[in-house]
Structure 1
């Protein structure tokens, strides 16, 4: 068979480093909340309205998934209205459910409404194994029969799902969200032990409560849900995206700028702000947002450990490591959430950073990876000038760290794989441009062969 040459578009960012960021930008709604709320709307046949939704790839994927099972949706600026009067289809295709892990959250709602559902094995960022066994075992405890076959999960239930006591081996955010959504309509009481308690989870609980759910946050990471017979429609305004806030704040410090982030919420950023204070980095908080003020003095080195909320968030680790390349002295970062989240540092080394990776636990937080061979500790020596280069993004947070590094690097950087950024951030390049960054989206034609 003859091959056919075709031209495909491969956009990338061209970034010229060195420009200080100055001005004001409004934060988007939380990426890690919006998709879960869209799925939660499947629990009712009535209309739900979500305000302050971020316009990004993960939202569109989740909307497509809901549309494929029968939802009606209308997106007007940053307000999403959706209604699922009937479930028309219970088999979620790979095209709408295989690109991230959101389809696993649809299991509970579709089992409640139809008694059966099948989903593809999930995809997502390449940051190490992210199995869904926590989800599957918990749903089985609630009465679901789940069979894995040919890359799909086939789920059925004989009657209504029932409450259960589910003890998570680790405070998994998405597993906690899954059981919150599913237990809201389950018969009886569900107790989630060792639950995650991130701000996005609390925001999901607020929406579910507005829909008629009965959910209590107890001490010692326990969440108790009393199942109800029926949920109704509701309206909710999402909290702002704390990951976007951290990324833009660090970009400000890296470029010695002065930026006000409207909508930044102190209560969701407490640990991050405390870490900035330890490094003598300036910020001012008011009722409407937070101003981040950089200068040319290198901040001191620091020892940092990621942890479950309210600890230092694992998604903040990559951008903060870039900041540490410009700190004065030897910094240590201990990653306790994911075992393989330092792969991006090889690109920083290529830009001139001094970074070493270690399998030992260089910290005090109890760590699942102790005595294992995972490179989950990092030592950064600085300050080191960074040089522009070509960068290929492997996942959302690493990709953002590449952009931050390029913003403070000398010369030009070409950043590829920007679909990861556009899946997780709303118009990040445009926001950076509005603050004075030299970043442009370049459309590049690439010739590919089709056999």
Structure 2
């Protein structure tokens, strides 16, 4: 099992190209199930979750063709993939795949809409807390589906097809919004989704569905109106930049000091994060192709309070990274997590590096220190793993991060990108 070794204390200078957004690419790939024609996606990141989802789609009968180094937006090295679901040969999404990647459960709505049946494994919990499927199930049942839970699977039938319905989510859910959006695109009649998620990844999915012929109104708002179509067609589409990767590398500059240009991205995707970083003492200069992030290594980071919220608030996927930044600050910060109930699993590992953090329920008090010191640590989930990388970049001595397969699920060539900007970081190959 691979590890990452970091010798910290080096400011970052240079340029980093941001990859396509994993969290956008996954539902875009699932949308290929809605049409017999080919959907080609450019700017896909080279990460493990993409590969796992391709495997899942292929076992449903999708023909996948990787087109190597795609250039969908003219300046990205992200690969392109063509997905053709001319015939759905299997409507079962097995536990063996779905348990490894929650996005696999998104096939429920599209399979049900296209084939009138689906058997999809419950994804279960994960290291950052449970993410129940009840909003997916309730919404699809409102559209006429019959769904039973049998031996850990959602067994769904809609022999007369899905019908338009008015659905209001009890809580904001990105996954449920994506699932029902796709199902509604092929449903008979008009579907209204109230209290829908507004994340940029949702808008990216809407734009692809519209390119495929779907009739969707209300993008960017919490009320989406979808008029179902009998059929959708193929499309050629470029995946949006990864806003979480963008924020992560900006935080890396904050914790080490230096100056790095982030390209192939957009500042408007992380306005809430930029506001907090600027308050903490980083300088953000917006450019046509992204932003330039800088901090004088001699100027300390200031403590700032943060509370995670659904978009457009501060994203939960940037909470762990910000905690690492605050651990190296000159001051104190209260970080409150409102999205997931168990997303402080990185705290004990950050503490091993010298961070001063006290957790009280869903809040963590972080008292900054300039004395972070390298130590062996263990990643517990995707965003927690990268928070340890950030802390290691600032820590004196050597940090060895184990279980980095979590990191590989969502960050493309992280060691290479950081090393190119002066970080002393390398992957240590483990035994097979």
Same fold per superposition (TM over 0.5): yes
> 1:172 aligns to what?
173
With normalisation by structure 1, the TM-score equals: 0.91
3-state SS, counterpart of residue 273 of structure 1: helix
The structural deviation recorded for 1:93 is 2.1
Task: Determine which of 324, 331, 351 is the counterpart of 1:322.
Answer: 324
Q: Which 5+ residue runs of structure 2 have no aligned equivalent?
A: 70-78
Contact 1:240 1:265 in 2 (8 A): yes
With normalisation by structure 2, the TM-score equals: 0.95
Contact 1:353 1:384 in 2 (8 A): no
Alignment of 1:82-161 (within 5 A): 82-123=83-124, 125-161=126-162
- What CA deviation, in whole Å up to 9, does each residue of 1:226-260 have, x standing for no partner? 11111000111111001101111111111112111
In structure 2, distance between residues paired with 1:98 and 1:346: 25
> 2:8 aligns to what?
17
Aligned: 1:407 with 2:398: no
In structure 2, distance between residues paired with 1:332 and 1:154: 43
> 1:357 aligns to what?
359
The structural deviation recorded for 1:277 is 2.2
3-state SS, counterpart of residue 160 of structure 2: coil
Aligned: 1:202 with 2:210: no
> 2:364 aligns to what?
378
The structural deviation recorded for 1:98 is 2.6
> 1:46 aligns to what?
37
In structure 2, distance between residues paired with 1:419 and 1:183: 35
> 1:417 aligns to what?
403
Contact 1:306 1:337 in 2 (8 A): yes
In structure 2, distance between residues paired with 1:131 and 1:315: 18
Q: Residues 219 and 120 from structure 1, CA distance in 2 versus in 1: closer, same or farther, beyond 3 angstroms? A: closer
The structural deviation recorded for 1:218 is 7.0
- What CA deviation, in whole Å up to 9, does each residue of 1:242-281 have, x standing for no partner? 1101111111111112111102201101111111222231
Aligned: 1:31 with 2:22: yes
The structural deviation recorded for 1:95 is 2.7
Contact 2:9 2:393 in 1 (8 A): yes
- What CA deviation, in whole Å up to 9, does each residue of 1:344-364 have, x standing for no partner? 111111211111111xxxxxx
Alignment RMSD: 1.4
> 1:369 aligns to what?
none
Task: Determine which of 289, 308, 311 is the counterpart of 2:310.
Answer: 308
> 1:449 aligns to what?
none
Contact 2:10 2:256 in 1 (8 A): yes
In structure 1, distance between residues paired with 2:343 and 2:53: 25
